[in-house]
Structure 1
């Protein structure tokens, strides 16, 4: 299941509301030299790294579509499909299917992100035939038995109910609603308490029919398997899927212009502040300059400007970060922190001041040099498993980057100039912030808990 929107430092890798962003630090260069473009006998393409260091195979794959393909009046269909594809398929009921997975230590999962329906598969090399066969059945003949659907639906509804009292979830959903309004990106990808009960088995089957097709499929595989064997496995697994998806067009959209602010009252000890605004698309020529300068401002490290100003100098929060998020049809920058209710205004002002200062003055040459050094060095540490490398390779394909991007990445970082960084800082942060505050009003911070009511579920 797609988790609720939880804005922590991990959100620099994924926004739980379904916004997928790339794990940006790649594998060491020796892995890059082994990436090959494999085409199966049936014409299915994959990026592949053959690695027999350990007898494991990891595969990540994605279809275009995701939560953006949910009907406007029924958000959450893709999320429910992701939870149900491994609940019985082919000639196996849910219990038997999971027993087969457990017996062979096969890891299989699905999820619906904002733009893609994704899946992962991991197994020991000796169990590859059974693992790929279970995946084939999940994709091509899911049962969607009523008992399984209602069991999973109840779990989704329980999670949605818990989100009504989660400040991070409320802030995330409100931020996307503020940024995108009625656009599919503005809707909660895991659905709502109103929509999920109305999703039918016919809706689930229609989503599978429209979205799971070969023409939008992207695959990345890392592990102990030879190319010929992998090609045959890919054909057996994906070959019987429809040739073409039937996707509803999704329009490009610019996030709402700052400044805007929203407050959601919630009786919690700590106030959550989520802030952001229009970002920069992945193929914008200034993207890398934006990535570097964002690291300087709030990239989640102890040296970022926001961390120094908000935590170290003023003690307003335990952590604060900001990240760039990019999707197929838009882009954002988004950040988060938590603070005491009576210090919320001071915290927002400290963040806004640093954002304005970066927009007006840009970074220093020393900051730029240090950020480049960090971003180049960290690539050697970030992707240390086959699953992480497969995930990165898949994201590079979805971002339409070249297969040798890993080798070129450090040179692209090095090429960013101070003038470019300053110009893109003004572009990103010159208009101010979209801000969502969730917590107790400052004047209520010292009142008993019963004095503040909870918001209605939305």
Structure 2
């Protein structure tokens, strides 16, 4: 029975059709918890996404990695169950719980069948409200984190990210690895796990999205039972920080046949009125396979297998970032091509043809994002955290289509600055040195 139920859940999770229309309801529970809901009763299954603003940026001084470790240990036993007992109870219900931490959020993703809803949520409540954080479980997960840190120390891409973010953000939490260091993680205790949970899991920073076989009334009751006893307030959020990217190139020597290059500059806030034009601009420059950077660096010159750029909108900082890898003998040429394209883009902007093609691509691809209950639940939470309205899904393509060539080129002039474009190169690049 367990094997059949698990197979059914897997089938549901991975074969749901693309949603043609997403009708978002806003829900407020009797206890005051707010959520967004998309009802879909064709399959007896629900996806629940719970997210708390703050994330690993709320680590206490000297305890870097505590929030990450706490989330990784959260399901290692709850109530009367140890780690094995909790896992068996979850599997018997054919449910799935994922606990994740990132720089700005911690999240809980739950998937469960309608027939097991009450039991699955009772089990999840134990993980949230009655975690054990047994000393042996904490030590076991600390070992896993240490393994991750050892791996990252020998990965040129991870080294490039560590150096770049340290340059950009310094002592701000964004400037360090949210896994922590060997020393900080080694010093963490079960008591630190309980303290970290109370810092990040509070109702004043809670966002919820639900998709599937559940009504608004059922969801309201579920959420009050599941989350109603959380603390009202959590730790203060960190300060806003300006990325200290003033241009130049930093080379980090590393013995590898290919150099990894990370480049970027200051970006744009998600709630900026110019965000949609900026998003279109980045799509032309480096956002997809037909972008200018791909054309110039890969297609014309064969200097890399792939290069791209993207907008990064943290809660407290913004950047435009890009990355590629090239052979040590050609990476200097590739860096110069990126610099040249960035400068041309800042100076000349894009063409009407590029704008029209990008609009067609973006508006056509957007509905494809809504390809399953879990994905939609995550999108609903992200929209709430970005301050968007429930009808954004229906109006987003209109916003894209409304952007004019004048709009996007004005934003390019405002945003792109080749003088502050900053590079970090990890490898043994020929003809490149720190400047």
The 3-state SS of whatever aligns with 2:181 is coil
Contact 2:256–2:427 under 8 Å retained in 1: yes
**Residue in 2 that maps onto 1:357:** 344
Candidates 99, 120, 123, aligned match of 1:131: 120
The 3-state SS of whatever aligns with 2:147 is helix
1:167 paired with 2:156, answer yes
Contact 2:44–2:213 under 8 Å retained in 1: yes
User: Normalized against structure 1, the TM-score is what?
Assistant: 0.88
Candidates 53, 57, 64, aligned match of 1:75: 64
Write the distance in 2 (CA, Å) between the matches of 1:408 and 1:398.
18
Unaligned 5+ runs, structure 2: 1-17
Runs of 4+ in 1 over 3 A off after TM superposition: none
Equivalence map 1:14-163=2 (5 Å):
30-31=21-22, 34-163=23-152
The 3-state SS of whatever aligns with 1:342 is coil
Cα deviation for residue 220 of structure 1 reads 0.1
Equivalence map 1:397-416=2 (5 Å):
397-416=384-403
Cα deviation for residue 28 of structure 1 reads 5.5
Cα deviation for residue 154 of structure 1 reads 0.2
Cα deviation for residue 227 of structure 1 reads 2.0
Contact 2:261–2:425 under 8 Å retained in 1: yes
1:378 paired with 2:373, answer no
User: Normalized against structure 2, the TM-score is what?
Assistant: 0.92
Write the distance in 1 (CA, Å) between the matches of 2:190 and 2:106.
18
Cα deviation for residue 443 of structure 1 reads 7.4
Write the distance in 1 (CA, Å) between the matches of 2:212 and 2:58.
32
Cα deviation for residue 426 of structure 1 reads 2.5
Partner deviation per Cα, 1:79-117 (whole Å, 9 max, x = no partner): 101101100011111110001112222110111111111
Candidates 294, 297, 310, aligned match of 2:285: 297
Contact 2:19–2:372 under 8 Å retained in 1: no
Unaligned 5+ runs, structure 1: 1-26, 445-458
- The size of the alignment, in residue pairs, is 414
**Residue in 2 that maps onto 1:210:** 199
Cα deviation for residue 29 of structure 1 reads 6.0
**Residue in 2 that maps onto 1:271:** 259
Write the distance in 2 (CA, Å) between the matches of 1:200 and 1:376.
49
**Residue in 1 that maps onto 2:13:** none
Write the distance in 1 (CA, Å) between the matches of 2:341 and 2:431.
26
1:284 paired with 2:275, answer no
Instruction: Please give the root-mean-square deviation of Cα atoms over the aligned residues, in Å.
Output: 1.5
Cα deviation for residue 340 of structure 1 reads 0.2
Contact 1:165–1:266 under 8 Å retained in 2: no
Contact 1:295–1:371 under 8 Å retained in 2: yes
Cα deviation for residue 74 of structure 1 reads 2.0
Contact 1:41–1:235 under 8 Å retained in 2: yes
The 3-state SS of whatever aligns with 2:26 is strand
Write the distance in 2 (CA, Å) between the matches of 1:215 and 1:441.
48
Candidates 304, 308, 316, aligned match of 2:295: 308
**Residue in 1 that maps onto 2:6:** none
Alignment CA distance shift 1:249-1:230 (3 Å): closer
Equivalence map 1:202-281=2 (5 Å):
202-245=191-234, 247-281=235-269
Candidates 399, 406, 427, aligned match of 1:439: 427
Contact 1:40–1:234 under 8 Å retained in 2: yes
Write the distance in 2 (CA, Å) between the matches of 1:249 and 1:159.
27
Write the distance in 1 (CA, Å) between the matches of 2:423 and 2:117.
48
The 3-state SS of whatever aligns with 2:238 is coil
1:417 paired with 2:404, answer yes
Candidates 401, 409, 414, aligned match of 1:427: 414
Write the distance in 2 (CA, Å) between the matches of 1:29 and 1:284.
29
